[in-house]
Structure 1
Amino acid sequence: MSAHQYDEGHTVAGWTGFAVATAGSVVLGLGVVMVSALVVAGGLAVVAGSVLVTWVLHLSGWGKAPGRRPREQWGWRTRDLSAREGHPGCVGCRLAGRGRGRVRESGVVVTAVPSAPAAAETSR
């Protein structure tokens, strides 16, 4: 079994998010040493921005779904073309509204729509 079969985070999205978060942590540490609330707030903003950068890159196909992948997708610079439909079990894809449907055997995608309470029934 290869170590690359479960290489979660070893993607362009993961490494870019890590680099931005590291830079934010450095700014945050400088703010603590300088006793500057403004610099601490800036560092926190950069760390929060790293989450958004990682999420956007993941949704654009530079992140990968968790779990096993075929050998041709083991490289960390391999773009995931299935990201548009959403990855099963992926919180980031679910937050973006992707991957909510189920595929039936016929190939038809069925989306789950929550039912709203009927206003006419409650007013009687």
Structure 2
Amino acid sequence: MTFEELRKNKPTTQWLEYEELDNEEIFTEENINATNEVLDIYISDLEKLGNNATEEEIMQVVKEVVIRINKLNEKYDYFIETIEREDLYIFIDSAALIAGLESDEDITEEWREW
């Protein structure tokens, strides 16, 4: 997978599909757009690190995206639930892996409030 593929396959696309199936109204254009923007910034920040990024540099970018998502979740009335949490983790972990991070642990857990 590449950063470009991740950009095109953000978890927010699936969230809208889940919502249609459940007939719930958890997601709004505003919280989806805000989440997409945070995820785009995350990918861009990882790309800026380049191919020789250290584990510490990558983890700093991971920390920043998790904290941003924490703030979004609070701002938009805690819209991140179990499925969304898992989707976000997979997305964040996949991007960190592309950037060169090697970890078998949950890289979001230390800062995650969702």
TM interval, short-chain normalised: 0.3 to 0.5
Q: TM-score, structure 1 length as denominator?
A: 0.36
Q: Which has the higher contact order (CA 8 A, sep 6+)?
A: 2
Larger radius of gyration: 1
Q: TM-score, structure 2 length as denominator?
A: 0.38
